[in-house]
Amino acid sequence: MMTLSNWSRYAVVVLAVIGCIEVEVQAQALKETFLASGVTRKVGGYRPVRSEMDKESDIVKVSPENLEAPRYGLFEIGEKSWAYILDEPEEGDATLYVDTNGDGDLTNDGKARWTSSQRGEYTQFNGGGKIDLGNGKVGAINFYRFDPADKRRASLKNTILFYTDYGYEYSFKLDEREFTTFVGGAPTATTRFPVDRDGNGKLSRRFEQAAIGKPFNFTGTTYVFKLNDGSVSLEKAVEELEQMPLPPNLEIGKKALKFVATTMNDVEVSFPSAYAGKIVMLDFWATWCGPCIGEIPNMKKAYANWHGDGFEILGVSFDRADMTEEIEAFLEEKELPWPQVYEGKMWDTTLGHMHDVSGIPFVLLVDGDSGEILATARQLRGPGLSDFIRSALEKKFDIKLEENPDVAVLNLNNGTFAGLSLGASADEIRQLATKNGVQIHREYPFSKTGTLMDFGGINFRFKEDGTSYQCYAVGKGVAIGGGLKLQESTVSEFEKIVGSTAKKGVAPNGRAI
């Protein structure tokens, strides 16, 4: 728990009369400490402010010499402002000058930092400087600028974005427990204070924030922060609220949260018990999330390699309302066979609230038997995902798994489909599965294309007339025409058989080559 060493003084007791009942309200004056820099990290982020370079040169009294292409603007914070000049010559480095002391002379201030970095085909600029706030307080501000040639951000062509890195630390008590909070810049009527209630060094926007003027109950008593003439105080609120629960502890080794949800295929899933005998990755994502989409190849590879050995994925979509058809089309295009939970509530998604998700992709790997969290985003993102999943399966089952065996036998759940024709009907494949001792893992409607039959290592799709028209090798599209026989053969022989008609081959245990 973050603690403080000094107790704040209590103000004079004020009597508030509500109806015929007198309520005693104690105002606690918070201990305030100015922090010249580093507050952005403490509060967990920032809100950039736009500054347009549309001012005339007369906003400054003295300019640096030898300017080539100066542009003028103001950093405005509250009722105060500080002039700046950005000199952007066509050739050579740009330079930023900030009127730190506010006297109009831009030659007597400390040098501001302004550097460039390449982001693909465009250049981004970042920097930092200081501003004199008065009363002996000098605070840090940071700024950045996108490439003016970037047509995607044409509206920011003449803009510098900035945010304060200075702020204040406040110490206070809630039910005799000591807490510390921070605010970037000066507090305003819209300020939300982060409060590390569980002392884990992480801040939850949903369970660990208190807004000025709004009652909150973190410890059993309802309080409210008040702002008067720039000073923050804390009072017991007249309104009584139920105590806010603590954020869920989703660290490795802790138990996953239990829930029941219905997938887009109308299948009810009890998590994590539905995945007994397996490990399952709970993946919060959205079709509009670039980083989520960027992880799809890694997830597909891991699923293709290890689904037949006990690896499952359950997706939770953060897409907006009325997007069922779009999501189904996306899943079909990207060849994602694992089930999805979709409510159409974006950030208000029930499971998102439950898991305190404030950014996606958000992933957890859970043991379906013990419910233990085995890994989080740090281990579950990037090209190493498949190797990590293999290690997790090997540890769980105390076995050694090989990703690329030498013989291409189509082996599904310890059964073998020898001589299977992918042009067979759904009934013929069911009969063949029974004959070979292969258990159908799931069978359900898929999108608008018909039926999907999941054998835990191979997924067959069927047209509405029941004929097989596409095979998925654990999520990898195969698109093999009817009549092709899958037989026991070496990998090279198998590739020759499949090569002319398949997007991707199928390796042993139904894994994609």
Q: What is the CATH number of the domain that holds 391?
A: 3.40.30.10
Burial of 72 (0-12, 13-18, 19+ CB in 10 A): middle
State the pLDDT at residue 129.
96
In a domain, 249, yes or no: no
Residue 391 sits in the same domain as residue 452:
no
Residue 293 sits in the same domain as residue 367:
yes
In a domain, 5, yes or no: no
Give the count of domains, the chain.
4
Residue 391 sits in the same domain as residue 265:
yes
Residue 186 sits in the same domain as residue 158:
no
Name the region of 389 (left: φ>0; alpha: ψ -120 to 50; beta: rest): alpha
Tokens of 383: 């090209």
Of 213, 208, 209, 238, whose CA–CA distance to 224 is shortest?
213
3-state secondary structure 73-138: EEEEECCEEEEEEEECCCCCCCEEEECCCCCCECCCCCCCEEEEEEECCEEEEEEEEEEEEECCEE
In a domain, 244, yes or no: no
In a domain, 343, yes or no: yes
In a domain, 134, yes or no: yes
Please say which residue of 108, 133, 164 terminates a domain: 164
Indicate the residue type of 47. R
Please say which residue of 202, 236, 270 terminates a domain: 236
CA 401 to CA 395: how far, in whole Å?
A: 10
Please say which residue of 353, 375, 397 terminates a domain: 397
Quick: pLDDT tens for 314-363.
Answer: 999 999 999 999 999 999 999 899 999 999 999 999 999 999 998 999 99
Q: How many residues does the chain have?
A: 513
State the pLDDT at residue 429.
64
CA 270 to CA 258: how far, in whole Å?
A: 7
In a domain, 378, yes or no: yes
Residue 132 sits in the same domain as residue 198:
no
In a domain, 248, yes or no: no
The widest CA-to-CA distance across the chain, in whole angstroms, is: 91
3-state secondary structure 410-456: CEECCEECCCEECCCEHHHHHHHHHHCCCCCCEEEEECCCEEEEECC
Residue 287 sits in the same domain as residue 380:
yes
CA 228 to CA 235: how far, in whole Å?
A: 13
State the pLDDT at residue 457.
45
Quick: pLDDT tens for 99-118.
Answer: 999 999 999 998 899 999 99
State the pLDDT at residue 402.
74
Range of the domain at 485: 407-510
Residue 212 sits in the same domain as residue 316:
no
State the pLDDT at residue 408.
29
Residue 280 sits in the same domain as residue 389:
yes
Residue 329 sits in the same domain as residue 357:
yes
Residue 302 sits in the same domain as residue 376:
yes
Residue 105 sits in the same domain as residue 197:
no
Low-confidence ranges of the chain (pLDDT < 50): 1-24, 404-423, 446-449, 456-457, 467-513
In a domain, 6, yes or no: no
Of 354, 129, 118, whose CA–CA distance to 259 is shortest?
354
CA 322 to CA 328: how far, in whole Å?
A: 12
Residue 282 sits in the same domain as residue 393:
yes
CA 63 to CA 455: how far, in whole Å?
A: 74
